[in-house]
Amino acid sequence: MKKLFFRYWRVGVVFSLVALCVAGWLAFPPYRNLEKEAPVGNFTADELFQGLAKDPAGGYIRLSGKVIIIEGVVAASGDGYVMLGKDMCVIRCTLRKTIYDKKRQFEPGKIVILKGVCRGMNMTEVVVSHCIVINNTAK
């Protein structure tokens, strides 16, 4: 009886550890090297916004979690984010969390090219995360 208990106990512990590792991997996905990862498309800020606004569900399926390149005019910027586009067609790009990216300054009205992971569209804007600057004319 004791041997049977310890055998099932070991199986339970191993199963729990595997489940914990899988849950951790899903909650905190592995690091993505955006410099080396190939993008699925190049978009202007207006093209990306209009494409996702016309068909949000299809655009989410097609682009969510994928690496894209975006070119657009800087509408606003702050500590760790840049907004591309004009009027109500806005792309919010959150920069990758490094000390160098947070100190970047972007002038409104200048053109910038970013590479990041598309997260889809919320109510009023398209969200792109982990962005890195490819070409910045707004020094």
Confidence of residue 113 (pLDDT cuts 50, 70, 90): very high
85 and 117 in a single domain? The answer is yes
pLDDT tens profile 39-54: 898 999 999 998 888 8
> What residue numbers bound the domain in which 23 lies?
1-30
Residue 35: inside a domain: no
26 and 60 in a single domain? The answer is no
22 and 51 in a single domain? The answer is no
Count of domains forming the chain: 2
23 and 56 in a single domain? The answer is no
Residue 37: inside a domain: no
Residue 11: inside a domain: yes
Residue 7: inside a domain: yes
Q: Looking at the whole model, is its pTM more than 0.75? A: no
Token readout for 5 is 């208990």
Task: Give the per-residue pLDDT at 72.
Answer: 92
21 and 68 in a single domain? The answer is no
